[in-house]
Structure 1
Amino acid sequence: MKLSDYIVTFLQKKGIRHFFGYQGTMIAHLVDSIERNPETENHSGYNEQGAAFAACGYAQAKEECACAYATSGPGAINLLSGVADAYYDSLPVIFLTGQLNTYEYSGIKGLRQQGFQETDIVAMAKPITKYAVQIRNPEDIVEELNKAYHIATTGRRGPVLIDLPMNIQRSEVENPVYDMTFEDKHTDAAAAQQAADTILEALEQAKRPVIMLGHGVDSSFSQQKLIRFAQKRQIPIITSVLAKSVLGYDHPLNFGCIGGAYGHRYANMIANAKSDLLLCFGISLCTRQIGTKVHEFARGAKIIRIDIDPYNLQRDIHENGINEVKLQAETGAVIDCLAKAAAPDTKGISDWLNVCTEIKENLQAVDDATPERYPNRMIADLSDMLEDTSAIAVDVGQHMVWSYQSFKNHEGQKLLFSGGHGAMGYGLPAAIGAYYATGKPTACICGDGALQMNIQELEWVKRENLPVKIMVMNNEALGMIRHLQRDYFDCLFAGTTDGCGFASCNFAEVAKAYGIPALRMLCDAVREEAPEFLEGEGPKLLEVMLEHGTFAYPKTCLGEPIHNQQPYAPKEVYDRLMEL
């Protein structure tokens, strides 16, 4: 069996049908094998970064392993931003790169380059992969491929990279194996039960518990079990941005996204200032989530952290780890143990839930009355028009903040973000990957800066007539940085606005040039005019024109506690809620 055929068949047997990449001489054998396999489909982007982000969107939307490929040298290097995205957001993606023939290597140590388009991609990828290897002997592929897949899909999931010289790809595999068994080092039933017992004991003492839910709970089955556990005990749930779509926006236990700078006011206040117990499942509690003054977060609460990643648990949240319990365990296994526990009397906890509801309603009213948040209201209107989409991939910038603050996602509808990596250019290709993952219409929300990072993938959308609705929020600026420059650099908008090294095009006209129906309108017109345009099948691009000086609010000012954000809530409202 040809080695490249074996790789494709192996991945197909593992459930991977769609492959994302860009053709090249040194990956041609693999691409040929994808094309010839009747159970797989090859999808070509127009930049390897776009293909890598499509694989990330696929993995996020499907919660299963994805695959992207590239040729050697510049092609492989272009994958790396997507590799990093998968690494930081724990996405199981197998990256396959072509390489020059093994017999072209000279053996001269220190030689800068062995041959045309040769790069040591394994060395470059190792810091941002769980495993990276070059195959130098055909007989190694069986064990290495089985091993790489196991590593990508177990424990804290993440990307792996296999570098495939051309002569290796065209070699023969004599004994193909598709289900090699490896020791599972991550499942420890005793540790899971001990963690569950610790949580249940803490709940008996707590009067104001909160569940903090992160992307580390990476199974929909486990997520729903945890929600049912919370429902039995009437415990409010606060999520990370990546875990936002675990609950529908209107779920009675949904109390928003935590955020050190731009989180929901009510989530920040409940977690940081009102709770006496935080049960943290697979959430990193990084500075982006809890603010830069880490030791001041939730000082009045006991923190119990459940995480499979021991390195995450090395960081103390409370100073010297006081009143903080760290439990290294698989979140799904701990949740399984909790699900078996009997439901207690929830009388006191129900009172706490009423307090949380009052905080949420009052602080939502404060934000709803903030004139500068008109983009948030527009995003909420757009969410009503995108109810039939399976996933919405959101790019990076102010529009990302507006989206996780105000997009009204329904149960089962996923919002996809580039979280830890925060890569501009993610949205459009991720929406493409999400379509192949779900088989249903998807959408992306981009800024004018973000879309230009991978605008060439509009041709991919048109070529395959994908049902992807593309929303471009155009304020003709890099709004997030412009806001920073206003506050800290005396309004010198270097590299962020027209006339200072940045400019935006007419995206509607660009989309039309690609053959995609497009419309440009002012933000105020979206509610009335956008629904009719967005109806129907196939791709559409809606460009929404905003004022240059847009802002993302609420925002935590440097030095302030994260629950007291700008523009500040009226003092009488803030003081009353803090006394509840």
Structure 2
Amino acid sequence: MKLTDYLAQYLADSGIKKVFLVTGGACAHIVDSLGKNPDINYVCMQHEQAAAMAADAYSRVTKNIGVAVATSGPGATNLITGVCCSYFDSIPTLMITGQVNLWETKGERKIRQLGFQETDIIDIVRPITKFAEIVRDPNEIKYYLDKAIHIAKSGRPGPVWLDIPMNVQHAEINPEELIGFTPEEDPSDLNRHTPLLSTHTVAVEAMDQIMKAKRPVIIAGAGIKLGKAENEFLKILETLKIPVVSTWSGIDILPHNHPLYIGQFGVYGNRAANFTIQNADLVLSLGSRLDTRQTGGQPKTFAREAYKIVVDIDNHELNKEWVVADLPINADVKDFLASLLLLISKRDENISDFSDWQSICLRWKERYPTVLPEYHQQEGSVNSYVFTRTLSEVLPPNSIIIPDQGGNLTWTIQGFGIKKGHRLFSAFGNSPMGYAMPAAIGAAFADPTANIICIDGDGGFQMNIQDLQTIRHYNLPIKMFILNNNSYGIIKQFQEVYFGGRYEATVEQTGYSAPNFVRVAQAYGIRAETIHDHSGIKEKIIDIINSDEPILCDVKLDESQKLIPKLVAVKTGDGRYISKPIEDMIPLLPRDEFMENMIIEPLEEKTGSKKSSEIN
């Protein structure tokens, strides 16, 4: 049996229905085998970066591994940005690249290249993959496939990479004689975590601390979905009734009208969530790495009077010395919550009542909405928060929403109201412009029954604009909304703060520009619409999402549209900028109103200057 024929069947038997690729000479055998196998199909993308991003989204939606194939050299290196998306967000993907014949590789020679388009891709990608290897022996193909997929899915998930030389690809093998990979027998298996204490033991301590608390809060992170722990999480909420704040990647854990959901916290969070977590006396963090966008620039100010219980499957995250946990728990979130539920079941009715604290949090949620009433009165252009809120109101269940990066991502996270059945994700960690459209393609193939919504900016959309052809070719009914402020808006705000409003390389006058997106879409044979203002905006969105064809919609924003609320920093006497704690966002509240919302002692600013500016 030809090795690539075996490879194609192996992927099909692993439940993979679609492979995203750009063909090339060094991967032609792989593509040919995929094409003639009736149990699997490939999708032709227009750029390898887009293929990796589509595979990333395919994995997120199917909860299986996503696969991309590319040729050697530039094909392989083009995958890297998409692979970084999977690595930083812990998404299991498999990159398969063709390589020159083994005898054409430079080996140990002190030269740069021997074979045509030869590149030592494995050494390049090892820092951004969980496992990367070149397959030199055809009889080891099953071993490396087994190992790669096991590593990608187990522990903290992530991308893996196999590089297959051409002579190995077309080698003849006997499948019955192939030796597989056995995780238990392999000492290099780094996916196993060995907690210092059993999950049950630390769950007992966590439960005791929760019952002592008066103002507890749960952080819902991406690890809940990654660990398939949604059911256990919901059961915990039903029993303990503790207010919940989410990270951006945990934004769709709960419907936003859930009585325990307060909002998203962090640098670009909302006031209610930030007041909640900052006034808490106990924080239970589930599957969140608590990075700088969540805690602000000074981690010691984050939840500073709370006892912190941090559950993470990756012990390195617990030991990174950013947010110091009082009770670090190196465990799978699902296992930890199962232990907690067992303890709760044994307590009978002896569960603390947090209803007063819940009422306080809900009052913050009601008092400080992100989408303000006056935004709806804007004339002559579309307010981004009005658009994202209106879109969320009319989208039915079974909708997948994929924002890109920059301003459009922030407006979506802050303004969108998740309903039951909504799924919202982006490449939160790597955050590259150009992710949303390829990811929407991957999601469309992963779930053909879902409403696929791509939310992009005029800048980011141009990064992978070529894959409009993929959407047209496969007639994917993706709805693309471009929040068009004719600039790199989030960088403009940064320039206003630090560079006196000198908009270098961010507006048309200094070199940035965007095309007429309606004409671009029409050139690809895709229907295009424009929303100029709030007049009939709801009806226009409904008409678009109810269509069964791909549509691009150019949403005309005010070019001065801001991202608020947001965290600020204060300038010190020596010119440094120090992050304020996340409860004190701009626009700054009147100081008496701010003090009314603080249960804990506010921090004094000792900076030598009252000038404030944006952080990040």
* Match among 269, 284, 288 for residue 289 of structure 2: 284
Does residue 120 of the first structure (1) align with residue 120 of the second (2)?
A: yes
Structure-2 residue corresponding to 1:565: 585
Structure-2 residue corresponding to 1:167: 167
Supply the AA of the counterpart residue of 1:531: I
Determine the C-alpha separation between the residues in 2 that align with 1:189 and 1:8: 42
Determine the C-alpha separation between the residues in 1 that align with 2:136 and 2:183: 22
Deviations 1:65-92 (A, max 9, x none): 1101110000000000011110000000
Determine the C-alpha separation between the residues in 1 that align with 2:370 and 2:497: 26
* Match among 420, 438, 442 for residue 447 of structure 2: 438
TM-score normalised according to structure 2 size: 0.90
TM-score normalised according to structure 1 size: 0.95
Q: How far does residue 234 in structure 1 lie from its aligned partner after superposition?
A: 0.7
Deviations 1:143-173 (A, max 9, x none): 1110111000000000000001111111122
Q: How far does residue 569 in structure 1 lie from its aligned partner after superposition?
A: 2.8
* Match among 373, 388, 405 for residue 396 of structure 1: 405
Supply the AA of the counterpart residue of 1:505: P
Structure-2 residue corresponding to 1:331: 333
Secondary structure of the residue aligned to 1:471 is strand
Structure-2 residue corresponding to 1:241: 248
Q: Residue 367 of structure 1 contacts residue 554 of structure 1 at CA under 8 Å; is this kept in 2?
A: no
* Match among 439, 447, 464 for residue 457 of structure 2: 447
Unaligned stretches of 5+ in structure 2?
Answer: 185-190, 570-578, 601-616
Deviations 1:279-304 (A, max 9, x none): 11110111111101011111110001
Unaligned stretches of 5+ in structure 1?
Answer: none
Change (3 A) 1:98 1:366: closer
Deviations 1:435-489 (A, max 9, x none): 1112223111000001000011111011101011000000000000001001110
Q: How far does residue 108 in structure 1 lie from its aligned partner after superposition?
A: 5.3
Residues 34-53 of structure 1 mapped to structure 2, 5 A cutoff: 34-53=34-53
CA-based RMSD: 2.1
Which deviates more, 58-67 or 302-311?
A: 58-67
Supply the AA of the counterpart residue of 1:459: Q
Q: Residue 210 of structure 1 contacts residue 277 of structure 1 at CA under 8 Å; is this kept in 2?
A: yes
Structure-1 residue corresponding to 2:318: 313
Structure-1 residue corresponding to 2:91: 91
Residues 296-307 of structure 1 mapped to structure 2, 5 A cutoff: 296-307=301-312
- Identity across matched positions, percent: 35
Deviations 1:259-295 (A, max 9, x none): 1x211111111112x1111011110111111101011
Q: Residue 397 of structure 2 contacts residue 419 of structure 2 at CA under 8 Å; is this kept in 1?
A: no
Determine the C-alpha separation between the residues in 2 that align with 1:426 and 1:212: 26
Q: Residue 383 of structure 2 contacts residue 561 of structure 2 at CA under 8 Å; is this kept in 1?
A: no
Q: Residue 284 of structure 2 contacts residue 308 of structure 2 at CA under 8 Å; is this kept in 1?
A: yes
Secondary structure of the residue aligned to 1:419 is coil
Q: Residue 140 of structure 2 contacts residue 179 of structure 2 at CA under 8 Å; is this kept in 1?
A: no
Q: How many residue pairs are counted as aligned between the two chains?
A: 575
Determine the C-alpha separation between the residues in 2 that align with 1:178 and 1:248: 47
Secondary structure of the residue aligned to 2:175 is coil
Q: Residue 375 of structure 2 contacts residue 385 of structure 2 at CA under 8 Å; is this kept in 1?
A: no
Supply the AA of the counterpart residue of 2:260: L
Structure-1 residue corresponding to 2:148: 148
Change (3 A) 1:207 1:369: farther
Residues 109-508 of structure 1 mapped to structure 2, 5 A cutoff: 109-175=109-175, 180-183=181-184, 185-186=192-193, 191-219=198-226, 221-259=228-266, 261-272=267-278, 274-317=279-322, 321=324, 324-340=326-342, 341-342=344-345, 344-345=349-350, 348-364=353-369, 367-368=372-373, 374-440=383-449, 441-508=451-518
Q: Residue 434 of structure 1 contacts residue 442 of structure 1 at CA under 8 Å; is this kept in 2?
A: yes
* Match among 552, 556, 581 for residue 545 of structure 1: 556
Supply the AA of the counterpart residue of 2:407: Q
Change (3 A) 1:324 1:347: closer
Q: How far does residue 554 in structure 1 lie from its aligned partner after superposition?
A: 0.2
Q: Residue 407 of structure 2 contacts residue 563 of structure 2 at CA under 8 Å; is this kept in 1?
A: yes
Supply the AA of the counterpart residue of 1:264: N
Which deviates more, 520-529 or 367-376?
A: 367-376
Structure-2 residue corresponding to 1:74: 74
Supply the AA of the counterpart residue of 2:597: L
Secondary structure of the residue aligned to 1:490 is coil
Q: Residue 371 of structure 2 contacts residue 389 of structure 2 at CA under 8 Å; is this kept in 1?
A: no
Q: How far does residue 529 in structure 1 lie from its aligned partner after superposition?
A: 3.1
Q: Residue 280 of structure 2 contacts residue 306 of structure 2 at CA under 8 Å; is this kept in 1?
A: yes
Structure-2 residue corresponding to 1:13: 13
Which deviates more, 361-370 or 504-513?
A: 361-370
Q: Residue 131 of structure 2 contacts residue 151 of structure 2 at CA under 8 Å; is this kept in 1?
A: yes
Q: Residue 187 of structure 1 contacts residue 330 of structure 1 at CA under 8 Å; is this kept in 2?
A: no
